[in-house]
A = this chain, B = another copy of it.
Amino acid sequence: MEAEIEFIPEGTVTSAKGFQAGAAFAGINKKAKYNLDLGILFSKAPSATVGLFTANKIKAAPVVLCQERLPSRSIKAVVVNSGCANASTGKQGLADATRMADLAAERLGVPPKNVLVASTGVIGQKLPMELLMAGIEQVTLSANGGQALARAMMTTDTASKEVAVRVRGGEFIVGGVAKGSGMIHPQLGTLLCFLTTDAAVDMDFLGMALKKAVDISFNMVSIDGDTSPNDTVLIMANGLGGNELIRQKTKAAAAFQQALNQVCTCLAKAIARDGEGASKLIEVAVSGASSKTSAKLAARTVVSSPLVKAAVHGSDPNWGRIIAALGRSGAEVVESKLNLSIGGIRLVEGGIALPFDKKKAVLALNDGEVFISINLNLGRAAATAWGCDLSSEYVTINSEYTT
C-alpha cells in the first residue's frame, strides 16, 4: 500500500524539525552565482547519520574524513564549500579537512568528531584555510537557511536543487539539497547531497533505505560518464518529529522508504535537468528486460550515449543511435524483439523500423522533457535512467573551467 506523501511548497533541507542552515561568501569560489560558497547544516539534536560515497579510487579528503566518522548516532553538523574540491591533495588535504571540521565545531560549540565536511570544485588545489576560517565565522544559522546552503554548494549548476516531502500518518518530513552539473555518472551520480529527516530511524534500516533510494535515483543519472572523487550522499535523522523509532519491515518503514525514494528521485532529476550545458531532461524507461541488471545497463547506456544526447539536442529522430547504444550496453538484447518509442511515437517494433511522421517526432524531441521508452520483450525487469542533451555549451563550460 502506498503511503500518502505530499510535497512541501518550497521544501528544503531545513524543512524537517530541528534542522538549521546558513551560508556565507568566503571567496573560495570566485564564480559563485549567488555570492555564497560556504555553508553549514546543523541539527539541534544529535542525528543518526549514514553516508554513501564515490566509487572512484581517488577519494577526496572530505570523503575520507566522512568515511572515518560514519556511521554515527551523534552527528550535529556538516560544513561544505564550493570552488575547491580538496581532492588529490594528499596528507595536507586530510589535515585541512579535519581543521575545517574543527573550525565549524568551534563556531557551533559541538565536539569536532560530530561534524562532517564536504567540498566541491577544482581538483588538485589546496583549501585556502584562511579564507575558510573567516568564512565560517560569518555563517548565521536559521530554520529557513536551506536555500542559502543549497546555493553555497553550487559550482556550474544554474539552479539550486531542494525538495522536501511530508508523510501523512507518520507525520514526519524528509528533505534534501543536492548539487550536480558535471562529472556525473552512475557510480553515485550526484557530487553532493544532504538529506534530513525529523523521523527517529533505526540506524541499520537508515543505511539500507539510503542505499535503496540512491540506487534508483542518483545511480541512474548520467551527465558525462565521469565520476567525481567527491561524490557524497548523507542522511541525518534527528528524531525530533516525535514518531516511534522506524525499524525495518514495519508499515512506517515502507512509508519512510517511499518518501526517501521520492526526495532522491526528485533531486536526481533536477541534477539531470541542470546538467552542464543542458537544455533538455532525457528520461529513458526500459521494460521487458531479462534481469534488473540488464534493465539498468540498457537505460544507463542509452541515456549516457554522446550520440543519443547530441541527437536529442538537435531534435533529430535518429533512433539508430539508441539501438546501437542498446547493443553495446552489455544488456541482453535480441534485435528482432525490440520495441522503441520517443515521446509516445512508435518508431521500432520487433526490431524493424516503422514509418513515422517525422514532424511529430521532431516536435516530441523539441520538448524540455524527452521520453524514450524501450521494451526489450525478454522478461519483466524494468529501470529508468535520467540524463540531459549534449550541447556546445557543455564544451564551452568545460574548456574554460580553471583558466
Q: Say whether B392 contacts A396, CB under 8 Å.
A: yes
User: Is A40 part of the binding interface, using a Cβ–Cβ cutoff of 8 Å?
Assistant: no
CB distance from A354 to the nearest CB of B (A): 10
Partner of A328, one of B55, B87, B401: B55
**Given A123-B323, A335-B88, A328 contacting B362 (CB threshold 8 A):** no
Q: Say whether A90 contacts B328, CB under 8 Å.
A: no
Q: Say whether B310 contacts A399, CB under 8 Å.
A: yes
Q: Say whether A124 contacts B182, CB under 8 Å.
A: no
User: Is A353 part of the binding interface, using a Cβ–Cβ cutoff of 8 Å?
Assistant: yes
Q: Say whether B395 contacts A90, CB under 8 Å.
A: no
Using CB atoms, name the residue of chain B closest to A334: B57
List chain B residues, Cβ under 8 A from A48: none
Using CB atoms, name the residue of chain B closest to A336: B90
Q: Say whether B316 contacts A122, CB under 8 Å.
A: no
Q: Say whether A327 contacts B229, CB under 8 Å.
A: yes
Cα distance A314–B225 in the bound complex, in angstroms: 19
Using CB atoms, name the residue of chain B closest to A312: B399
Q: Say whether B57 contacts A328, CB under 8 Å.
A: yes
List chain B residues, Cβ under 8 A from A87: 320, 323-324
Partner of A182, one of B59, B307, B315, B399: B307
Chain A contact residues, majority secondary structure: loop
**Given A328-B55, A398-B314, A224 contacting B88 (CB threshold 8 A):** no
User: Is A300 part of the binding interface, using a Cβ–Cβ cutoff of 8 Å?
Assistant: no
List chain B residues, Cβ under 8 A from A333: 57-58
Q: Say whether B187 contacts A328, CB under 8 Å.
A: yes
Partner of A90, one of B187, B316, B351: B351
List chain B residues, Cβ under 8 A from A305: 225-226
User: Is A293 part of the binding interface, using a Cβ–Cβ cutoff of 8 Å?
Assistant: no
User: Is A7 part of the binding interface, using a Cβ–Cβ cutoff of 8 Å?
Assistant: no
Number of interface residues of A (CB under 8 A): 66
**Given A324-B123, A327-B57, A402 contacting B318 (CB threshold 8 A):** yes
User: Is A319 part of the binding interface, using a Cβ–Cβ cutoff of 8 Å?
Assistant: yes
Cα distance A327–B352 in the bound complex, in angstroms: 41
Partner of A348, one of B88, B125, B311: B88
List chain B residues, Cβ under 8 A from A352: 88-90
Q: Which of A303-342 contact B (CB under 8 A)?
A: 304-307, 310-311, 313-321, 323-328, 333, 335-336
Q: Say whether B324 contacts A228, CB under 8 Å.
A: yes
CB distance from A287 to the nearest CB of B (A): 18
Q: A317-B402, A318-B402 are in contact. List 20 more A-B contacts (CB 8 A).
A: A58-B324, A58-B335, A88-B352, A89-B352, A90-B335, A123-B318, A124-B320, A124-B323, A124-B348, A225-B225, A225-B306, A226-B306, A226-B324, A228-B324, A229-B323, A306-B394, A311-B401, A314-B398, A316-B402, A394-B395
A-B CB proximity, top 7 nearest: A123-B320, A314-B399, A58-B327, A310-B398, A392-B392, A56-B327, A124-B320
